[in-house]
Structure 1
Amino acid sequence: MKITEIKSCFVGPAISPEQFIAEHFFIFLAKGEMNGYDGNKHYKLKAGESCIIRKNRLARYNKVRTDNEFEKVIFIFDESFLKSFQKKNTVLFQNYKSKDAFIKLKKDNLIDSFLFSLEPYYNHSGNISKTFSDLKREELLLILLQIHPELSDLLFDFGIPGRLDLEKFMQQNYKFNVSMERFAFLAGRSLSAFKRDFKMIFNETPSRWLIKRRLQEARFLIEEKKQRPTDIYTDLGFEDLSHFSFAFRKEFGMTATEMLDM
């Protein structure tokens, strides 16, 4: 069964490289593996496992094919859907807190049966009508809250990120390639306040500091860990190898390959 993306749930071989998670979503891996990183911890999801990936988090994830196959089921729990669900259902809060962006879910027959029940709802184009899609989202959410009642504290928190320690936040998340507006939002500041506070703390503009910090880490990985530039540039937040190579040579006076061979 191969199904393309629809608004609330889909099955298919591709995962978005987006590093800012705008909405909560449930993911189940049918085939392959997935590695995740949230700036603090590394996560691994194997075939047959599922997790919730939380909104308003920075996260990087990549797929690992098994026998050249990778299939997943994703349900997006956007804020408007969650607010509508809360009006129709009693939601009990557990005072649960977690800093993790990836919340691994227990294996359970209810989830397995639910996933198996999806197949008849897909048409030949790989879509589910919005009516059935929303009903299946509600069904899944009821199942998840029964298995993991503590998820209510995460999914139904509609507040915006609070003001964070900016130095600690940036040192933890400098590898993520997102806009200054995203960094400011997640740090609990307006863009102007973010830039002002950043200058006071680092005595540098955010864009220039990010380049320098990423290049410092690149030099460490190349000199001390003997890692190749082609293996590290994307994980350090550079969009392409040519940009990384140009910035590295400008900063250190030699290419990354020359430094690796020293």
Structure 2
Amino acid sequence: MPVRQTNNNAEIVFTCSEAVFYNTELIAEEHSIVRVLSGELKVIQANKTYVFGAGETHLFPRHRLATLITSEKDGLPYQAIIVKLTQDVLRDFYEQKKNQIAIVPKSEHIIPLPQSPLLDSFFSSMLPYFDLEYKLPQELSKLKIYEAVTVLQSLNKDIDNILSDFSEPHKINLVEFMERNYMFNIPIEKFGYLTGRSLTTFKRDFKKAFSTTPQKWLTEKRLERAYYQLTKERRKPIDVFYEVGFENLSHFSYAFKKQFGQSPTELTTARK
């Protein structure tokens, strides 16, 4: 198994990648705090890339798209603790604070958190939980989420505005969203949800906007991005295919050759 997870409950997870290199797409249904214990985590969003190493922590806001690439570093596998700040618990936490929250612009990006003894203490306190032979009591899990939010409040003055937003995606500009997020390999249904549309409405609006089907357009856009990275940025096919939205190298190579008349390897070999 490439990834091992210890999950005492739905909110607190210890994850360990036993593979040297592991990729996945993420669209979080809940806000999540991630502390990297060892190895390295690369997070690629539409217009920004982050790299987190051991001891670093970040908040991943819900409903944000990202490609995650984990790898070993300094001979150690990727290990991390993930704490999901569930909507039900956050609603309880903010129930009496509705009039105390300032309105500021919402963050579209991951929020790196500064080094802090409070964060260190918080995550250290959870390590023994993963050795339990029984499920962590739900009330204790809730208390740990309350503690996490309180720590975040001390580190980021705008955090309440983000965590207390319980709205669901509303209908947004489809063209702008797709042009910004086409490289993420998620189901068409998820693209529809994130633009505030049912699958039927998404396909109808997409056809009207782009005069083609979502899958055909996505493939062409991903291949165009790959071609640019291979020719202008002089990257290797093995480093490109996943970042542009393909699940495996063979499918990428087949689609690329069908589109451009030569495989990615033939293209990069010819440029030398």
Note the 1:207-246 alignment, pairs <5 A.
207-246=215-254
Which digits, 9 at most, give the CA deviation of each residue in 1:2-45, with x for residues without a partner? 98223211223248823212211001122233221221211222
1:80 & 1:30 partners in 2: Cα distance? 28
2:240 & 2:173 partners in 1: Cα distance? 27
Q: Tell me by how many angstroms 1:214 deviates.
A: 0.9
Which digits, 9 at most, give the CA deviation of each residue in 1:208-234, with x for residues without a partner? 000111111222222333322222111
Aligned length, in residue pairs: 260
Task: Name structure 2 gaps, 5 residues minimum.
Answer: none
Q: Tell me by how many angstroms 1:100 deviates.
A: 2.9
From the superposition, tell whether residues 10 and 255 of structure 1 become closer, same or farther in structure 2 (CA, over 3 Å). Answer: same
Q: 1:139 aligns with which of 147, 156, 174?
A: 147
From the superposition, tell whether residues 122 and 129 of structure 1 become closer, same or farther in structure 2 (CA, over 3 Å). Answer: farther
From the superposition, tell whether residues 255 and 117 of structure 1 become closer, same or farther in structure 2 (CA, over 3 Å). Answer: closer
1:5 & 1:109 partners in 2: Cα distance? 25
Q: 2:205 aligns with which of 186, 197, 200?
A: 197
Cα contact 1:114–1:140 (8 A) shared by 2: yes
More divergent stretch after superposition (52-61 vs 8-17): 8-17
Q: Look up the match of 1:4.
A: 6
Cα contact 1:24–1:52 (8 A) shared by 2: yes
1:116 & 1:259 partners in 2: Cα distance? 49
Cα contact 1:3–1:11 (8 A) shared by 2: yes
| 2:41 matches 1:39 | no
Cα contact 1:38–1:100 (8 A) shared by 2: no
Note the 1:1-262 alignment, pairs <5 A.
4-6=6-8, 7-14=10-17, 17-69=24-76, 70-87=78-95, 90=97, 92-125=100-133, 128-262=136-270
Cα contact 1:19–1:177 (8 A) shared by 2: no
More divergent stretch after superposition (190-199 vs 153-162): 190-199
2:237 & 2:130 partners in 1: Cα distance? 43
From the superposition, tell whether residues 244 and 120 of structure 1 become closer, same or farther in structure 2 (CA, over 3 Å). Answer: closer
Task: Name structure 1 gaps, 5 residues minimum.
Answer: none
2:134 & 2:71 partners in 1: Cα distance? 23
More divergent stretch after superposition (227-236 vs 50-59): 227-236
Cα contact 2:23–2:70 (8 A) shared by 1: no
2:222 & 2:161 partners in 1: Cα distance? 35
The 3-state SS of whatever aligns with 1:116 is helix
From the superposition, tell whether residues 80 and 124 of structure 1 become closer, same or farther in structure 2 (CA, over 3 Å). Answer: closer
More divergent stretch after superposition (21-30 vs 160-169): 160-169
2:87 & 2:6 partners in 1: Cα distance? 23
Cα contact 1:21–1:59 (8 A) shared by 2: no
Which digits, 9 at most, give the CA deviation of each residue in 1:128-178, with x for residues without a partner? 333322222222222222332421111111111233222221111111000
From the superposition, tell whether residues 128 and 198 of structure 1 become closer, same or farther in structure 2 (CA, over 3 Å). Answer: same
From the superposition, tell whether residues 62 and 224 of structure 1 become closer, same or farther in structure 2 (CA, over 3 Å). Answer: same
Cα contact 1:30–1:73 (8 A) shared by 2: yes
TM-score, normalising length: structure 2:
0.86
Letter in 1 for 2:245: G
Q: Tell me by how many angstroms 1:182 deviates.
A: 0.9
Letter in 1 for 2:7: E
The 3-state SS of whatever aligns with 1:61 is strand
Q: Tell me by how many angstroms 1:127 deviates.
A: 5.5
Say what the alpha-carbon RMSD is for the aligned residues.
Answer: 2.3
From the superposition, tell whether residues 184 and 3 of structure 1 become closer, same or farther in structure 2 (CA, over 3 Å). Answer: closer
